[in-house]
Chains A and B, each alone.
Chain A
Amino acid sequence: MSSSSRRATSRVPSRIVAGIGLSHVPSVGPVIDRARQADPAWKPLFDAYVPVRAWLEKLEPDVAIVVYNDHGADFTFDKYPTFALGAADRYRIADEGFGTRPLPEVAGHADFSIHLCEQLIAAEFDLTVCQELGVEHGFLVPMNLCFPHSESGWPVRSVPLQVNVIQHPLPTARRCFRLGQALRGAVESYAGDLKVVVLGTGGMSHQLQGKRFGYMNEAFDQWFLDQLESDPEGLSAISHHRIMEEAGAEAVELIMWLTMRGALSPGAKRVHRHYYAPMTTGMGLITFAG
């Protein structure tokens, strides 16, 4: 690998211009593919993204780093990495068991990714580096909500950052927060003049297995949003056990929001906030200016 200073096309440092926490509910995908966004049951969700999309258009980001988890589409339990980073110029749309969605291939930024890998591994985050990767709803639904695609592609390039939140033992919330802090340093040391948005995805409250199927806890979710804004360092002390008990087993995905928050300044200003819980998942949305 060549050094990042030789690869970069500009001497101007890159910077994180926004951070977004949002849910990645799979049922949103077919709603978009069938253009059902105006259905009364779905309209409240999509309406919340109208100002977010307008805001993102003004920010003109070059790259979205998407912190997500794979749900058994391209990683299975024979080998499941704790943290994995995409380092490719393109990512295919994966079939996670329901067919391949009609979406354009995702454009990556291999040079930027390789820089992030070098910096994060030097910062003692031992990532799995993926030169081939298929992405699925955990990655694609947040992209759909924030960055409308055309037939030819997406308005930003992407870097997938995959976190194991589905097969114990999981990384701690604090580890995810620290990864975000290291990510900020890695982004800012890339002399490519990139404007970067970090998406932290998953959650909020939901339980998809056993007798407690369908459990949600709006009070917990609202508290989490409050803490994410005002005291992310304190919030990162939360245990998996507490999240799973209070917000459902699958709510543990929320630790990925802490990676996004860790990548922002401690006093980052919140811009948007929304919550909608129609079926089995508390669908939260919170945005911060970088």
Chain B
Amino acid sequence: MCAALCDPREREAFKRDEEAFMARFSLSEAEKDLIRKRDFAGLIEAGMNIYFMLKIGSATGNSLYRMGAQMRGETYEQFLSTRNIKGAV
């Protein structure tokens, strides 16, 4: 499913109807639920590769740093405050 998101038409299809998009792939209900909830920590725990998860991030408006903040259990602002040069985004 994530590989399909490398095509702009597929990203639009995901944004238009996420359920219909997910139904095309052999995802379990638990996996779909992690995507519905934007539970990035849960997806990683379930075996998701970070570079493929970035494609879901792109389609859902979640940057790497936003996903990272969630995985750390922090707000985006809290995460940025831990960085050396937080303007380099």
Contacts and interface: CB of A to CB of B under 8 A. Distances in A.
A167 B2 CA distance: 15
A213 B68 CA distance: 6
Contacts of A76: 3, 52
Contacts of B72: 211, 213-214
Interface string B64-89: 11011101110000010011111111
A97 B68 contact: no
A73 interface: yes
A97 B65 CA distance: 16
Contact of B85 (A167, A250, A278): A278
Nearest to B82: A214
Contact of A95 (B8, B41, B45, B87): B8
A71 B88 CA distance: 21
B65 A72 contact: no
B21 to A, nearest CB: 14
Nearest to A73: B6
Interface string A35-77: 0000111100000000000000000000000000001110011
A98 B62 CA distance: 11
B5 interface: yes
A130 interface: no
A279 B6 contact: no
A208 interface: yes
Contacts of A42: 88
Interface string B34-74: 00000001001100011110110011000011011101110
Interface of B: 2-3, 5-8, 11, 41, 44-45, 49-52, 54-55, 58-59, 64-65, 67-69, 71-73, 79, 82-89
